[in-house]
Amino acid sequence: MRDYSKLCDAELAALLNQGDELAFTEIYNRYKGVLYIHAFNRLRNVEEVNDIIHELFTTLWNKHDTLVFKTNLSNYLYTSVRNRIIDFIAHKKVESEYVSGFQDFIDSHEAATDYLLRENELSRIIEQEVSSLPVKMREVFELSRKYHHSHKEIANKLTLSEKTVKKHVNNALKILRVKLSMVIGLIYILIG
């Protein structure tokens, strides 16, 4: 019987590509702790870190036969965690900005029906602005933000480079921030 704990990362990666569950288990046992600490140092939230680590290893197993390790296994795992953290933080920031805007709106207006109408209108405007993005940018943005795919997953799905995916997401966020800040500002002027 093979002792997987004595195999180097390159051997484990090759076995993982072949669908070897014991190699996957060894990779998991070898890296889960250090990746968790790495992610926790950035996010400081146990649930969020657990989700990111779980998603990473689920993706690693689900795509084991198509993964290409351009660098060594540890670099691949650290980069994957870092990218997931960046995506998560960017998503949280956008979400927080929307929540903050909505909270300010709630605090300054008492009528629940009026609030719901405005919230629905703002959601419609956001969807409209997202749908007005260039086709490929919109597709990448929606996969990232609506369906929570990683840049790598999007790159694989759309046959793009991760750099192109990141550029599309960043450009979409810039466009939406500008357009939506003007709309939100106008709403505040009109209701203020």
In this predicted model, what pLDDT tens digit does every residue of 82-109 receive, in sequence order? 999 988 888 877 766 766 666 665 565 5
- 52 occurs within a structural domain: yes
- Tens digit of pLDDT for each residue in 127-182? 887 788 888 888 888 888 878 888 899 899 889 998 998 998 888 888 877 777 76
Query: In angstroms, what CA-CA distances link 65 with 21, 32, 35, 44, 76?
Result: 12, 21, 22, 33, 15
Tokens of 139: 């597709």
Residue 18: helix, strand or coil by DSSP?
A: coil
Residues 32 and 76 in one domain: yes
3-state helix, strand, coil in the chain (%, to 5): 80, 0, 20
Q: Identify whether residues 123 and 185 lie together within a single domain.
A: yes
Domain identity same for 35 and 78: yes
Q: Which domain holds residue 148?
A: 109-192
Report field, pTM of the whole predicted structure over 0.85: no
- Sign of the four-CA dihedral 176, 154, 151, 48: positive
Structure tokens, 129? 């602005």
Same domain, 149 and 78: no
Q: What is the pLDDT, as a whole number, of residue 137?
A: 87
> Are 7 and 60 contained in the same domain?
yes
Grouping H, G, I as helix, E, B as strand and the rest as coil, residue 19 is coil
Same domain, 75 and 153: no
